[in-house]
Amino acid sequence: MNDTGTSAEHDLIETGTLVRFRIVNTQTQVSPDKQNVSVQADLVFTDDEDTDPREITEWAAFGFLFILAALSFHDARPRGMSEIDYHPDDAFTVADFFDCLSFKHGELHLVADYVRGRSMKTTVTIRKDGTITLTTWGRGQSALRWLDHLQGKKRIASVPQP
């Protein structure tokens, strides 16, 4: 028996992890109270064959939005009263995705504030020309970690001493 929701999520994750992108610019700002960090990353779809980013956008946009949202959801924790709805083993679903998704002015937008008790504070805009803007606030620099992970980069970690 095949669960349609799980299958759709799997397909979106597969597409989102296959697409290649280049980081064009990143900006990190600390709030005036020094308690929160916002990150904005400007990206563009790319590949090894000089394919027009617009062509990549046609097949990659939904999967890329979904994988960024799933990574944000996975890392997100409750804040304030949202702990009531928080379940540590919860997963981002296609239904969550559609709740956060909109199409305005010829652009796909994902806006995720609080989802089932998790403070996601993540927006992503994908334009038809293949450019993307990822913004997070109150999440530290986690967005940069997600991008590194999607590009297959390893984070430097200290080696435990025996």
User: Is 70 exceeded by the pLDDT of residue 113?
Assistant: yes
- Per-residue model confidence (pLDDT) at position 4: 62
User: What average pLDDT does the chain have?
Assistant: 90
Q: Return the structure tokens found at 2.
A: 């095949």
Q: Where are the alpha helices (DSSP H) in 1-156?
A: 4-18, 53-75, 94-100, 142-150
Q: Return the structure tokens found at 75.
A: 């890392």
Cα distance between residue 162 and residue 160, in whole Å: 6
User: Is 70 exceeded by the pLDDT of residue 1?
Assistant: no
Average pLDDT over residues 84-93: 84
Tens of pLDDT, residue by residue over 34-60, are 678 899 999 999 998 889 999 999 999
